[in-house]
Structure 1
Amino acid sequence: MRASCTDGREEVIEAWYMDDSDEDQRLPHHRDPKEFVSLDHIAELGVLSWRLDADNYETDEELKKIREARGYSYMDFLKVCPEKLPNYEEKIKCFFEEHLHIDEEIRYCVAGSGYFDVRDQDDRWIRISVKKGAMIVLPAGIYHRFTLDSNNYIEAMRLFVGDPVWTPFNRPHDHLPARNEYLETFVKKDVSNQAVDAAA
């Protein structure tokens, strides 16, 4: 089912369950038939999303409000493409290794496009496609990965609370407090809700 939101996010952010093919990671990897996931569903996994004005990010009041409300004090930009990123092939492989962070990962696509893959409560991959204007926040402790799509280009604003930390912890790192907190907040909560529903 496609996203039901009416705030324009679905024009720049789409999500779907991935197939199991090991073809080029930059392909969409839709299932057959396609199985779309709503933005409400990825929000239940802790993934927040906005549609912002990427042409005017310097003066965008909405971005300013989000940064102030969530404490995103540090900002920089990263261009991911063969011409702009040193050690491109190595970095792309690194980004696509399944990993987690002990802090949120905040990315605002100001140009180009790409895919963030996250695991759902049943450990199935959901692919999140982001285009220009899409901003997403992946919660601390969620297993995920990133790849370019076949356009081979994204420019992303990276936001951080305080000093930037880019440390990835490749799976498995289930012993980290951030992983346990993620499971308690988003996965076990969902399981307990389902148990209540089943008993009703």
Structure 2
Amino acid sequence: MSTRTIALAGALLAAAGVSACTSGSAKPSPTVTVTRTVTATPSSENAQSSSGVLKMGTRQAINDNANDVHITVQALEYQQPYQGPQPQKPDASQGGDIWATAEIKVCNISGPDINVSQTPWSLDYEDGTSIETTGLSGGDMPKPEFPMDKPVKAGRCAAGLIAYPVPSNKRPERIVYAPEGTEPIEWAVSKS
């Protein structure tokens, strides 16, 4: 678009120059102002705090060049308590008294098929505790569910909700993606 705008400005200047030359009077040439609008897209660098925690919704690229795997991961939203149809309340052995959800998206940008799962995703709390996914799926769990052990071809994505049994009296600080063999990636959870 900016090339078209500059070309148009050049054409207008040329036309203005021709009409000024053919005129018999000494009128000043018209002035043409070209305004170019540039829209910045947020990068993971701009959306990252000094602690390395990403802003919710930020897409993070993971490139494993040795294995030709190029993916992006996102934690899109955290909801506590989950607002949709309620599954059966978590029991005491699961560690929480209500259900919360994290909306997750993983895209296979290029390379071989990848397998996605809920397992690498967890919630971390200020007091150092963390809550892992229960691995429960189907039935009355929040929908659409993020898949468990599903292959994703290059150029495709997997997205959905991961349910966590959480204590109703506190909120996590971060959603963490930590697959085996890679550095964890974290997204900040809002206080409310």
TM-score in terms of structure 1 length:
0.21
User: Greater helix share, 1 or 2?
Assistant: 1
TM-score (norm 2): 0.22
Higher RCO structure, 1 or 2 (CA under 8 Å, sep 6+):
1
Larger radius of gyration: 2
